[in-house]
């Protein structure tokens, strides 16, 4: 077939719900066009495996019927419902090791690919973009991350499901907090961005939400504000509270801490004992008891939400269509309620600059409508 293309697809960086739905969409769409799709296992490490003779090109070939369940329910297509990545992912690869970069480029050549679809967050994009330049690859990228911090796209695959997961956790924790009259501090992922904590905190009924864009670090003044908020709730007859804190918020020394929720819970309990309990607004705080919960990798698990499945599907189809049209070096994005694409020539410099500044490529807007929504319903944001 003269117009048959050979395209590769890989997942890189941390996993999230919706990766398999992207792979499914790409394979189904490309197969209808008569193309061959090669699934590169473990990110760019799959190219190295070819060069080292660990794997063979034919082992990477994907079929739109390659994941059917056999037996009485043969033909059942479950790929879009599975979290994780059937291709596996590779979080870190030391490209400075002798020969690694050349092995990756040579592996791409061995597959004789016409184009590569790379699914990743901003860290993966930075690395794969440079590899594509060196190897002269035709590249299309699809954003995925529960952090929702990829530049120039309103949504990344995985965020909506993680938001639902954290929202459910906050809802569930509310009842144990109420039963024991405790203040529960919940640590939420997001790296240097507060999107996940902010969205889920609003939906999950948090009384206080701390995100790095508004409260970059803990302080004594911030702890006092939180204690005041807790005391206000107690005077209204509510003897429990729920606090969501993004992992990107730093400690009082301005340093990142592995378990920042535990640090905050200890500070609240300790500080509440120091306040002047003779004052009416603080006279119940000597009864404050705190607990911390770190949700961890549960946030990257679970059945993808309907929105993430749809987003993954339209992103996958858009990537294939871009390849068909010869539009390479593009990032597939979600913009104003529709799928679109941006030139990586515009996206990557911004990402690289943010990495150099130790910043976030797409942070929460402190003056945006989501922040205003939280404030409008009385959620303490710490500023």
What is the distance between the terminal CA atoms of the chain, rounded to a whole angstrom? 62
Q: How many domains does the chain have?
A: 2
16 and 119, same domain (yes or no) = yes
Q: What is the pTM of this model?
A: 0.94
* CATH code where residue 226 lies: 3.40.50.460
- Give Cβ neighbours of residue 200 (< 8 Å, ≥ 6 apart): 162, 163, 166, 167, 170, 188, 206, 244
In a domain, 236, yes or no: yes
Question: pLDDT by residue for the chain (383 residues), tens digit each?
Answer: 457 899 999 999 889 999 999 999 999 999 999 999 999 999 999 999 999 999 999 999 998 765 555 666 666 778 889 899 999 987 665 666 778 999 999 999 999 999 999 999 999 999 999 999 999 999 999 999 999 999 999 999 999 999 999 999 999 999 999 999 999 999 999 999 999 999 999 999 999 999 999 999 999 999 999 999 998 998 888 999 999 999 999 999 999 999 999 999 999 999 888 766 656 666 666 668 999 999 999 999 999 999 999 999 999 999 999 999 999 999 999 999 999 999 999 999 999 999 999 889 999 999 999 999 999 999 999 88
292 and 312, same domain (yes or no) = no
Contacts of 332-340 with C-beta under 8 Å, sequence gap 24+, read 332/140, 332/141, 332/142, 332/143, 332/153, 333/143, 333/152, 333/153, 333/154, 334/153, 334/154, 334/155, 334/156, 335/153, 335/154, 336/154, 339/314, 339/315
Pairing relationship of beta strands 61-62 and 183-188 according to DSSP bridges:
unpaired
Range of the domain at 134: 6-158+304-356
Q: Is 303 exposed, middle or buried (0-12, 13-18, 19+ CB in 10 A)?
A: middle
54 and 185, same domain (yes or no) = no
98 and 182, same domain (yes or no) = no
| Tokens matching residue 281 | 């607004």
In a domain, 226, yes or no: yes
283 and 326, same domain (yes or no) = no
292 and 170, same domain (yes or no) = yes
DSSP-assigned letters across all residues of 185-200: EEEE--TT--HHHHHH
147 is catalytic: yes
In a domain, 33, yes or no: yes
Query: What's 157's DSSP letter?
Result: B
Nearest-angstrom CA–CA distance, 103 and 176: 53
In a domain, 178, yes or no: yes
56 and 120, same domain (yes or no) = yes
280 and 145, same domain (yes or no) = no
134 and 17, same domain (yes or no) = yes
Task: Select which of 15, 45, 122, 147 is catalytic.
Answer: 147
In a domain, 381, yes or no: no
167 and 152, same domain (yes or no) = no
Nearest-angstrom CA–CA distance, 289 and 324: 60
SS3 39: strand
Longest CA–CA separation in the chain, Å: 85
Query: What's 72's DSSP letter?
Result: G
Nearest-angstrom CA–CA distance, 120 and 123: 8
28 and 167, same domain (yes or no) = no
199 and 322, same domain (yes or no) = no
Nearest-angstrom CA–CA distance, 76 and 74: 6
> E strands along the chain, which residues?
6-11, 36-39, 61-62, 115-120, 139-143, 183-188, 208-210, 241-246, 290-294, 330-335, 338-343
């Amino acid at each position: 077939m003269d117009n048959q293309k050979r395209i590769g697809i890989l997942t890189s960086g941390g996993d999230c719900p919706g990766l398999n739905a992207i792979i499914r969409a790409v394979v189904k769409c490309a197969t209808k066009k008569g193309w061959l799709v090669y699934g590169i296992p473990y990110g760019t490490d799959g190219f190295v495996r070819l060069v080292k003779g660990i794997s063979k090109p034919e082992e990477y070939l994907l079929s739109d019927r390659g994941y059917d369940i056999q037996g009485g329910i043969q033909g059942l297509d479950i790929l879009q419902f599975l979290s994780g990545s059937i291709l596996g992912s590779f979080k870190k690869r030391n490209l400075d090791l002798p020969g690694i970069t050349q092995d990756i480029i040579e592996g791409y050549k061995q597959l004789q690919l016409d184009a590569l679809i790379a699914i990743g967050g901003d860290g993966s994009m930075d690395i794969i973009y440079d590899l594509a330049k060196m190897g002269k690859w035709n590249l299309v990228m699809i954003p995925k991350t529960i952090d929702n911090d990829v530049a120039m796209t309103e949504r990344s695959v995985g965020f909506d499901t993680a938001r639902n997961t954290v929202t459910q956790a906050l809802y569930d924790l509310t009842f144990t907090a109420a039963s024991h009259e405790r203040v529960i501090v919940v640590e939420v992922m997001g790296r240097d961005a507060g999107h996940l904590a902010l969205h889920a905190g609003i939906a999950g009924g948090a009384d206080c939400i701390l995100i790095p864009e508004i409260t970059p670090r803990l302080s004594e003044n911030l702890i006092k504000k939180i204690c005041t908020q807790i005391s206000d709730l107690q005077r209204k007859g509510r003897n429990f509270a729920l606090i969501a804190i993004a992992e990107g918020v730093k400690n009082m020394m301005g340093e990142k801490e592995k378990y920042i929720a535990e640090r905050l819970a200890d500070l609240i309990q300790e500080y509440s004992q120091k306040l002047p309990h003779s004052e009416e607004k603080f006279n119940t705080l000597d009864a404050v008891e705190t607990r911390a919960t770190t949700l961890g990798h549960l946030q990257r698990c679970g059945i993808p939400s309907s929105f993430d499945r749809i987003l993954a599907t339209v992103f996958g189809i858009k990537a294939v269509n871009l390849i068909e049209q010869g539009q390479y070096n593009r990032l597939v994005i979600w913009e104003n309620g529709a799928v679109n694409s941006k030139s990586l020539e515009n996206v990557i410099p911004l990402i690289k600059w943010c990495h150099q500044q130790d910043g976030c490529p797409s942070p929460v807007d402190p003056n945006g409508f989501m922040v205003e929504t939280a404030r409008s319903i009385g959620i303490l944001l710490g500023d």
